[in-house]
Amino acid sequence: MSEIRTGILSFGMSGQIFHAPFLDLHHGFELCAVVERTKKQAATKYPSIRSYDSVDEILADDTIELIVVNTPNATHFDFALRAIKAKKHVLVEKPFATTSLEAKQLYEEAKKNGVQVFPYHNRRYDSDFQSVKQILNSGKLGELVEAHIRFDRYKYELGEKKAKEIPGPGAGLLYDLGPHILDQALSIFGKPAHWEKRVGHFRPHTQVDDFATILLSYPSGLQVFVSTSLLVADPQSAFILHGTLGSYTKHRTDVQEKQLSEGMKPDNKDYGVELTENQGILTTVDNMGVKTQERVPAEPSTYMNLFEDVYQSIKFGKMYPVKQEEIIEQLEILES
């Protein structure tokens, strides 16, 4: 079966780390083109790649079947829509769009043009999140009462990327890291009965939010808190689960991004393997009131599974894990 000829709209950090290595190694894709407006660097790593000067040029290439939209947030909708109308499948980084109406239009246009549009939510494929799902599925926590999902960094100074620091569609931390943690919450717990959202502006001279927290409330009484901040100097557990039979805590390890940024290839035997000290902690209480605590190792995970899911969907019609209704719900919360 022929490979899916793929082009990437940008060869910055995300193109070099999160997309190109996987498209290059996966048997089902051919990484054949990239947009490089100024510096032409892609050919040094991928000699056969074609470098275009603009988005218009790469979209005009009729041989390309899949386009990766990894440009600034405010451009996602426009570039994805143009790619869809050019009869190409599209893989869109977060945020999928800046409004729920935009997202609905992308899905409608994809259906109309006989192509598929995929949200790129790689954090579903992190080992830390996979361990959380494993614990929940085990039933060891009993009925879940409370859950916390955090994604924190410490960046006191304003960032150099103007698209993230100047007010506008998709700007600010809520739209930067918020989609990751909202997607993780919605993928596990589903649509909440209602939600409450708060944002903050704390860095000197910031024009965009640098703190956000959202409370998702469910009919069962479950309360899920998703939070993100750029002013956390000492990150605590990123995942905290409390149930009627016990608790589980887990740090955000982010091992894949670190390994990729250091040059490790996804086919390395150590890729996606967490360090022992990053293991989660499961605390349970039996019916006699005896408390037991154990460390839970996380299984290795890889973003290659995301690209495999895209491949399976395009070639064989398999359902893509990130559902349309989850994306619409996510953006309705972000834009509210």
Q: Model confidence over 88-106: pLDDT tens digits?
A: 999 999 999 999 999 999 9
pLDDT of residue 163: 72
pTM beyond 0.85: yes
Per-residue pLDDT averaged across 217-236, rounded? 97
Residue with tokens 């950090």: 13
- CATH architecture of the domain covering 127-300: 2-Layer Sandwich (3.30)
Comparing 39 with 260, the larger pLDDT belongs to 260
The percent of residues above 90 in pLDDT, for the chain, comes to: 93
List the one residue out of 147, 132, 138 whose CA is nearest residue 243. Answer: 147
pLDDT of residue 58: 98
Give every strand in the sheet of 211-217, ordered side by side: 194-200, 211-217, 223-229, 144-152, 239-243, 246-250, 280-285, 291-296
pLDDT of residue 179: 98
pLDDT of residue 66: 98
pLDDT of residue 1: 64
* Under 8 Å between Cβ of 323 and 103: no
Where are the domain boundaries for CATH 3.40.50.720 in the chain? 4-120+305-319
* Under 8 Å between Cβ of 198 and 212: yes
Q: Model confidence over 135-177: pLDDT tens digits?
A: 999 999 999 999 999 999 999 999 887 778 899 999 999 999 9
SS (H, E, C) 18-82: HHHHHHHHCCCEEEEEEECCCCCCHHHHCCCCEEECCHHHHHCCCCCCEEEECCCHHHHHHHHHH
pLDDT band at 288, cuts 50/70/90? Answer: confident
- With b meaning 16 or more CB within 10 Å and e meaning fewer, what string describes 155-170? eeebeeeebbbeebbb
Where are the domain boundaries for CATH 3.30.360.10 in the chain? 127-300
For residue 302 the two structure tokens come to 């890889």
Please state, rounded to an integer, the average pLDDT across all residues of the chain.
96
Other Cβ atoms within 10 Å of 19 Cβ, number? 26
The percent of residues above 70 in pLDDT, for the chain, comes to: 100
CATH number of 4-120+305-319: 3.40.50.720
